[in-house]
Amino acid sequence: LLTDAEENTDGTGGSMAGSNTRNQLFFVTFILTLIISLALVLFVIFLIFQTRNEVDQISSRLLSEEKSIEELKKLNNIILKHLNQSGIKE
């Protein structure tokens, strides 16, 4: 015959095995969630850097085009002044 203490130990041991399995499943799920979250964060950081590079390239193009437009305006003014001085009208 088993004593009361032995029955409690066996019962606790059985529930500990189920609890241990649930804890392991929770731990594995938690680790997988962390890995997936880390991968997503790294992907977002990569996208931010890519976007920053694209914006920098577009900004530099706009600045160079702005300089070209200013030069064209100056040439246009020079041509208009020359035409006005020579007496040719539109």
Domain of 59 in residue numbering reads as 42-89
Position 79 in a domain: yes
Domain-located, residue 5? no
pLDDT of residue 15: 53
Whether 30 maps to a domain, the answer reads: no
Domain-embedded: residue 67:
yes
Q: Identify the band that residue 30 occupies on the pLDDT scale cut at 50, 70 and 90.
A: very high
Say which amino acid occupies 15.
S
**Which tens digit of pLDDT belongs to each residue from 12-28?**
444 566 678 888 999 99
User: For residue 33, is it within any domain?
Assistant: no
pTM, rounded to two decimals? 0.53
Phi, then psi, of 3 in degrees rounded to 5: -85, 170
Residue bearing tokens 């969630």: 33
CA 25 vs CA 5, 30, 39, 40: distances in Å:
30, 8, 21, 22
Question: Could you give the number of structural domains in the chain?
Answer: 1
Q: Kindly report the average pLDDT of the chain as a whole number.
A: 82
Closest CA to 59 of 51, 49, 47, 70: 51
